[in-house]
């Protein structure tokens, strides 16, 4: 559902125009009337509004992203809902996306690539320290200001979308070119997944190309999983070797072989920027070796010996032949030959079958391990106590770190219900596995005490309720004393014990109530009557200016600064333009003092010129500056010059002249060809 310009969200944000759209939301430019600044508002698409779990994740992740404060991250100011609309208020950045900049000016030199990369990775480091993984790093999500400052957007929002949602909304379509292999497989992602996507962005900055292209998005995802990243120097020979190695390391297929954290990548980027010959340390990948079993080894050895013996006997020369009866010798030779032939045939078939079986088994066992990085497979820790997990990880040469406790119905209290890296991920020895432990008392089952949030700002109150595991809803109320955005009241009251499915209602101040008034039509009124009309609507008269008018009598109002019937706040001032009557034309003095000047009107006629409406090629607005010029054989002169409201058309303008002439009309200083008319005056005898 599109939001029309002029719509007010949260009694504060006025929608101006749509500026973008994604798979899960639409982005609008808006104006904050409280702080008088432009903002960007991301509104959740209509199809997700009915999914309560999705909306809850959307809000929770947005609140988490609001904790980020970094010059290279688009700031989040507010999170709210208005009727069925759920929205996030963000910093409005004037500029373009990095994708647009690459299309316009790419490829970039190594220095620019590294300078841009430093800003992106700095933003990621700040987010990763807050335990927020972006999951959708791509040039389309990076804004570039006019000063070439990069700002990463959509932090935390991608984390609120699970894999099924991404596929359903088509959001993966724009991102699959930058997906890490583990994302393409639907496996666990961590900080290195963001750095992989960043490596693909650096590849595109340096080459103006994407490393993997195919006819379908599934084919591209498979390339990320199976194919090695092409060297950037194939597309841009000017790239430095150090930058190329940095990109290849960042986008390594194996999570354990690429950069493990942003600090490590920032160190190498700064090194490459200061020294073109900087050495990037990369892990060496050993070749795959097939180990034969004892049976296979013995089989090959025995068959090899037979072959050697066969070769040796066929090439030997006998110097002495035993004396044997000729007939017996022939019979035995024929018997041995037949038996040998059968034996060789059967043995050959069996040997061939055995070789095929052994090779098939070797290939079956060996092929699945091809491409797998050497490392340790992380075990599943779910349902284990911390002590059990430590003992298990110790046998795997891994370490454990408990990062917190949360209510959970996934595992019994006191056991692990979440881990990072996840089960079956490949890691190096001594890698720290971070885990979350289920609380002894679940808020949903045993109840939790409602905290006191009255007086807090809205975001702080919502964060506190999230920490307590409580659901909540926000309602607004006008208040002349409490600052806008602060909690006035809450239900249930602080200190009450409630179950986890009870929803806490927050009453948030909307500031003093704004009462709207309807602007009356003041045109053709006297000033006194206009003041009375404005007072009746609880408005007031503002500045008064005067001007000549051929159509409005002296003392009456020609136009007003705010259009009639428009809704404005009570107390608003309306400026007016008051008529001074017709401007008297002065006749020039005769050139010959003895010549008599004919009285006015002796040879002039009056003709009424009608302006039916505003031309279609003129901007649509409420008030126009209209000027009409008459050109005759006696020269040119302005016969009408006034401010005219749109609802005053058609406009009848009396013009005095003689003979034939041309009338030209100007709207706001612009001539309109369709309003150049011929005019014929009646000659007065």
- Catalytic positions, written as ranges: 136
Is the alpha carbon torsion for 337, 343, 348, 351 positive or negative? negative
Phi, psi of 420 (to 5 degrees): -150, 120
- Alpha carbon 428 to its chain centroid, in Å, reads 33
Query: Which pair of structure tokens corresponds to residue 17?
Result: 């125009």
Is the alpha carbon torsion for 417, 423, 429, 432 positive or negative? negative
Pairing between strand 399-406 and 432-438? Answer: parallel
Burial of 490 (0-12, 13-18, 19+ CB in 10 A): buried
CB environment 385-418: b (16+ within 10 A), e (fewer)? eeeebbebbeeeebebeeeeeebbeebebebbbb
8 Å CB contact between 476 and 95: no
CA–CA gap between residue 315 and residue 605 (Å, rounded): 137
Cβ-Cβ contacts under 8 Å for 488 (sequence gap 6 or more): 454, 477, 479, 482, 507, 508, 509
8 Å CB contact between 37 and 28: no
- What crossing angle do the helices spanning 110-129 and 262-274 adopt, rounded to 10°? 160
CA–CA gap between residue 466 and residue 476 (Å, rounded): 20
Query: Which pair of structure tokens corresponds to residue 558?
Result: 């020609």
What's the first-to-final CA gap in the chain, in angstroms? 70
Cβ-Cβ contacts under 8 Å for 632 (sequence gap 6 or more): 657, 658, 659, 660, 661, 662
Query: Which pair of structure tokens corresponds to residue 171?
Result: 């959001």
Cα 166 to Cα 90, 171, 469, distances in angstroms: 22, 5, 26
CA angle 413-429-123, nearest 5°? 75
Pairing between strand 416-420 and 142-145? Answer: unpaired
């Amino acid at each position: 559902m599109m939001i029309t310009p002029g719509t007010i969200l949260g009694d504060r944000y006025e929608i101006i125009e749509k500026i973008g759209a994604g798979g899960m939301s639409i982005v609008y430019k808006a104006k904050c009337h409280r702080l008088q600044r432009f903002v960007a508002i991301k509104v959740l698409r209509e199809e997700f509004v009915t999914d309560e779990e999705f909306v809850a994740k959307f809000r929770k992740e947005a609140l988490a992203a609001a904790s980020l404060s970094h010059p290279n991250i688009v700031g989040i100011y507010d999170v709210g809902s208005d009727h069925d609309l759920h929205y996030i208020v963000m910093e409005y950045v004037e500029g373009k996306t990095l994708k647009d900049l690459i299309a316009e000016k790419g490829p970039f030199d190594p220095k620019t690539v590294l300078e841009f990369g430093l800003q992106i990775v700095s933003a990621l480091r700040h987010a990763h320290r807050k335990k927020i993984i972006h999951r959708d790093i791509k040039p389309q999500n990076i804004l570039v200001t006019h000063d070439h400052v990069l700002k990463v957007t959509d932090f935390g929002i991608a984390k609120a979308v699970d894999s099924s949602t991404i596929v359903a909304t088509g959001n993966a379509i724009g991102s699959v070119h930058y997906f890490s292999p583990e994302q393409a497989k639907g496996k666990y992602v961590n900080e290195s997944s963001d750095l992989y996507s960043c490596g693909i962005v650096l590849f595109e900055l340096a080459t103006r190309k994407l490393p993997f292209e195919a006819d379908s998005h599934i084919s591209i995802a498979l390339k990320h999983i199976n194919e090695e990243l092409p060297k950037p120097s194939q597309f841009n020979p000017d790239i430095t070797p150090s930058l190329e190695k940095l990109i290849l390391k960042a986008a390594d297929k194996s999570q354990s072989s690429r950069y493990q954290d942003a600090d490590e990548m920032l160190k190498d980027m700064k090194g490459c920027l200061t020294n073109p010959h900087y050495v990037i340390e990369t892990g060496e990948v050993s070749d795959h070796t097939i180990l034969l079993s004892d049976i296979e080894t013995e089989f090959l050895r025995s068959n090899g010996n037979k072959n050697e013996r066969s070769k040796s006997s066929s090439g030997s020369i006998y110097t002495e032949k035993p004396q044997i009866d000729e007939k017996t010798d022939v019979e035995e030779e024929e018997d041995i030959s037949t038996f040998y032939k059968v034996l060789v045939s059967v043995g050959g078939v069996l040997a061939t079958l055995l070789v095929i079986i052994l090779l098939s088994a070797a290939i079956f066992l060996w092929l699945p391990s091809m491409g797998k990085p050497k490392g340790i497979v992380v075990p599943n820790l779910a349902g284990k106590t911390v002590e059990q997990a430590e003992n298990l990880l110790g046998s795997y040469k891994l370490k454990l770190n408990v990062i917190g406790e949360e209510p959970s119905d996934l595992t019994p209290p006191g056991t692990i219900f979440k881990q990072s890296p996840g089960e079956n991920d490949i890691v190096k020895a001594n890698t720290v596995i971070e885990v979350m432990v289920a609380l002894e008392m679940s808020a949903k089952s045993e109840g939790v005490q409602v905290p006191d949030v009255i007086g807090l700002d809205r975001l702080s109150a919502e964060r506190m309720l999230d920490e307590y595991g409580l659901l909540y809803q926000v309602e607004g109320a006008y208040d002349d004393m409490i600052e806008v955005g602060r909690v006035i009241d809450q239900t249930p009251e602080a200190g009450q014990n409630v179950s986890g499915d009870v929803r806490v209602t927050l009453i948030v101040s909307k500031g003093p109530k704004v009462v709207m008034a309807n602007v009356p039509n003041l045109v053709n009124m006297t000033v006194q009557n206009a003041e009375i009309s404005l007072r009746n609507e609880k408005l007031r008269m503002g500045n008064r200016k005067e001007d000549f008018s051929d159509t409005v009598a002296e003392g009456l109002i020609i136009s007003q600064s705010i259009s009639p019937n428009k809704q404005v706040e009570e107390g608003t001032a309306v400026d007016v333009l008051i008529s001074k009557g017709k401007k008297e034309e002065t006749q020039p003095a005769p050139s010959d003092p003895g010549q008599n000047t004919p009285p006015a009107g002796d040879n002039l006629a009056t003709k009424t010129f009608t302006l039916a409406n505003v031309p279609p090629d003129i901007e649509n607005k409420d008030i126009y500056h209209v000027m009409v010029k008459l050109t005759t054989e006696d020269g040119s002169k302005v016969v009408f010059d006034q401010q005219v409201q749109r609802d005053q058309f058609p406009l009848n303008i009396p013009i005095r002249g003689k003979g034939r002439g041309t009338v030209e009309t100007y709207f706001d200083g612009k001539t309109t060809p369709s309003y150049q008319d011929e005019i014929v005056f009646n000659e007065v005898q």
